Amino acid sequence: MNLPKDPMLLLSVVNTKLRDQYTSLDALCEDMQADREKMETKLQNIDYTYDENTNQFV
């Protein structure tokens, strides 16, 4: 599955997958062959950062 390019859609998809399928952002990125740095940058641009304690972007 390709991740959405739109940051808001990306946020929704990634947080859902983190909640339902993955124990960490690293696991999601590895499984989906996604670039973690690019994903974090894109979501930081809309004021969301990854929180390891809750395993979601907040």
Structural domain total, the chain? 1
Residue 33 lies in a domain: yes
Residue 14 lies in a domain: yes
Residue 1 reports pLDDT greater than 90: no
Residue 41 lies in a domain: yes
**Cα–Cα–Cα angle for 43, 1, 33, nearest 5°?**
65
Query: What residues contact 10, with CB distance under 8 A and at least 6 apart?
Result: 3, 4, 39, 42, 43
- Summarize pLDDT for 4-43 with one digit per residue, the tens: 999 999 999 999 999 999 999 999 999 999 999 999 999 9
| Token duo for residue 7 | 């940051």
Residue 1 lies in a domain: no
Distance, in Å, from the CA atom of 2 to the CA atom of 46, rounded to the nearest integer, reads: 20
